[in-house]
Chain A
C-alpha cells in the first residue's frame, strides 16, 4: 500500500516529464525558416525586423537570426549552424570566402563610424582634421577611451585608425579600457564613465536618447570611416544541408531594387544611416 502510493508518485512524475519533453521536442522540430547569423550592432540599429518582414512579404521566405559578436557570427557559418551571415568586417569576410565556407558575397550597404564622447570634449575631438587626428588628440590628452576589444568590424576599424595616427594601441595606459562587449554595452559604459569611443552611427542614433552624457563629436563621411555591410550565403558544398537556394534569394533581394530602396529609406530616430551600395557576385 505505502509502496504502491510511492509508485504512483513516480508514475505521475514520469508522465509529466514525458509530456513536457514531447511538447519541447515538438517545438524543436527541424526549422523551416532561413537562419542568419549577424552582429549585435546590426541588431541594435533596429533595421532587421522591418526589413525581414518586407522580404517575407515579397518572397514568402521566413528569416530569423541570431545576433552575436562578429567572430561568433562567422564561426556559426563555418560550423554550418546557419544558412547565411551578415557582417561588416571585410577582411574577415575575405577569409571566410577563401576558406570555402562562404559561397559568394553581396555588398549591401554601409553606414559610418563616428566618434562620440563627453559633451565637454576636453580632448578637442570636434576640431580634429581627420579621424586619425581625432584619436591622436584623445591620446595626447590621455582621455578615457572605451575599446570593444572583441575583434568586431568596429574594433578592427578602431585599431586601424590608431595605426594610421602612428600609435600602438597595445602600449596604451589605463585610460584605454577594453570592454570585450557589443556596441550597445560599450556605449552604455562610455556614457557611465564619460569616455570616448568609436561607434557605428546606426547604433549611436538608436541609443542616443539613453546616453545623456555623450555627444556626437566626429561625424564626417571620410571613406576610411565607411562601415561596409555584406551578406554571405554559407557554401553548401562545404556544409551540406544549409538552405542554399533561399539564402541566395535573400542575398539577391538585398541588392535588388526592393531591398536597396528599403535600406535607403530606413530611419533611426529621424536619421537615415544606411547608404545602399548593392553589388556582388551572388
Chain B
C-alpha cells in the first residue's frame, strides 16, 4: 500500500502538534520516522489509522481517500495494522490474542488455528500459546502483540516505538520478524523510532519530524552520512541519539 500525506494539521485544543505534514511512502518500503519525544510521531500514526481526525489535510491510501461508507471504511481499516510501545493484550491466553483479528474477519476453523499457530511459531511463542496474557513478560507480550497484528496480513504496518522498552534479545527477534514480514508479503512498514541505530538497521528511508514538521527525508545511508539540514545533522550526531 502506498501512503500519501498532504498538509496534515492536527491540534489538541490550542496545542498544534502536527503543523502541515507532507509525506509520500512507496509500497513495500520500510520507512522510518525519527524525532524527539513530543514531535508528533505517535499523533501522525494515529491519524493514519483513523484513531484521530486531522483538522486539515488529507491522507491517501493507494491513491484514494478514506471512503465515506462504513463498510469500505472498515475494509480499509482492516488492511492496516499497528503495534504500540506498550502492548495491550486482551483477557485470555496468547493464542486468543493472536487469533483476535482473525475472528474479527470471520476466519473459520481450521484456518484460524493454523494461522494462529504459524504466527506464534514465527515469533518463537509456540510454548506460550496457552499462557495467560497477564503473566507474560514485557518481551513476550510484545511478541504476542506483533503476531496479533501481522497474522491478519495488513498491507500497511505501523510500528510505534515498538521495541523501546525491550532487552536486546527481544529487539533482535522483533526486528527480524519485521524484516521477514516485509520481505515475504511486500507490505509497507512505517517505523516510528527515536533509536537511530534501529532506523539504520531496518529502514529504506528515514524522515525527521521536529516540532510538527518534516525537516528532511532521505535514503538510509545518505540520511545519516550526509544530512542536508543542520538540524538533521545535530539529531544524527548524537544530541537526540538513543
Q: Say if the two chains contact directly (CB < 8 Å).
A: yes
A147 to chain B, nearest CB (A): 61
A1 / chain B contacts, CB cutoff of 8 Å: 99, 102-103, 108-109, 112
User: Within 8 Å of chain B (Cβ to Cβ): is A2?
Assistant: yes
- The tally of CB-CB contacts under 8 A between chains A and B is 11
Q: Mark B107-138, 1 if CB is under 8 A from A, else 0.
A: 01100100000000000000000000000000
- Give the interface of A toward B (CB within 8 A): 1-3
User: Within 8 Å of chain A (Cβ to Cβ): is B96?
Assistant: yes
- Give the interface of B toward A (CB within 8 A): 96, 99-100, 102-103, 108-109, 112
CB closest residue in chain A, given B109: A1
By secondary structure, the B interface counts as: helix
CA distance A2 to B109 in the complex (A): 12
Q: List 7 A-B contacts (CB under 8 A).
A: A1-B99, A1-B103, A1-B108, A2-B96, A2-B99, A2-B103, A3-B103
CA distance A268 to B108 in the complex (A): 75
B109 / chain A contacts, CB cutoff of 8 Å: 1
CA distance A107 to B238 in the complex (A): 108
A2 to chain B, nearest CB (A): 5
CA distance A3 to B107 in the complex (A): 12
CA distance A1 to B108 in the complex (A): 7
CA distance A2 to B112 in the complex (A): 11
A226 to chain B, nearest CB (A): 73
CA distance A1 to B99 in the complex (A): 9
CA distance A71 to B39 in the complex (A): 77
A2 / chain B contacts, CB cutoff of 8 Å: 96, 99-100, 103
A70 to chain B, nearest CB (A): 59
CA distance A1 to B102 in the complex (A): 9
CA distance A2 to B116 in the complex (A): 14
CA distance A3 to B109 in the complex (A): 14
CA distance A3 to B96 in the complex (A): 12
CB closest residue in chain B, given A3: B103
Residue of B102, B103, B108, B109 contacting most chain A CB atoms (<10 Å):
B103
CA distance A7 to B109 in the complex (A): 17
CA distance A2 to B90 in the complex (A): 12
B100 / chain A contacts, CB cutoff of 8 Å: 2
A3 / chain B contacts, CB cutoff of 8 Å: 103
B103 / chain A contacts, CB cutoff of 8 Å: 1-3
